[in-house]
Copies of this chain bind each other. A is one copy, B any other.
């Protein structure tokens, strides 16, 4: 195959599905569009890939610009490239999903300037472009990942209780999880360390705090 450069080129963007847990719900960060097309509709944050910037870097840059966070879990999802997905012309979107923990997510809420909101994943507003498809795919992926890997920890602050971790699983999977089996499974993974601290949180037995090994 010979590469030539005479082809009309598509624009390439990254779109981000940024998840967090808040108010006992799984949230995604959405931005309200100011211009056409889809004016006033909610959309996933995203933007163009700079010519000398890797896709991963572009995603990390958007993440910082739009959600004000760095150093969070970030993974490429899928590349969407239907010719008509953007009415203005050919735009290929490399989608990423990111997991932001409750602590960092609060930082953003405070410094918010543009119209961006954390919205429930399970009852989202109508989205621009094919962003609903991207969101659905991201949720599907997150559900799979949480069952087979340890990404769940990315949604919690450094110190957490087992009940909090369990809630994360229940919220994402949208089904109750057995407490004893859950603790057994998590502890058997050997990925978390029990700290010599507890958290008192009302009129009941304080919970032991744990931390994830590295992060």
Contacts and interface: CB of A to CB of B under 8 A. Distances in A.
> A interface, by DSSP: helix, strand, loop or mixed?
loop
A150 to B, nearest CB: 18
B81 A48 contact: no
Given A2-B34, A89-B5, A10 B49 contact: yes
Most buried by B among A8, A34, A92: A92
A3 B51 CA distance: 16
A136 interface: no
A21 interface: no
A53 interface: yes
B7 A9 contact: no
A12 B34 CA distance: 29
Instruction: Give this chain's copy count.
Output: 2
A10 B9 contact: yes
B51 A8 contact: yes
Given A12-B92, A92-B55, A3 B81 contact: no
B1 A45 contact: yes
Contacts of A8: 51
Given A34-B2, A35-B2, A52 B9 contact: no
A65 to B, nearest CB: 9
A25 interface: no
Interface string A94-138: 100000000000000000000000000000000000000000000
A161 interface: no
Contacts of A92: 12, 49, 55, 92, 94
Interface of A: 1-5, 7-13, 31, 33-35, 43, 45-55, 66, 76, 78-79, 81-83, 86, 88-92, 94
7 closest Cβ pairs, A-B complex: A55-B81, A9-B9, A8-B51, A79-B79, A7-B48, A52-B83, A79-B94
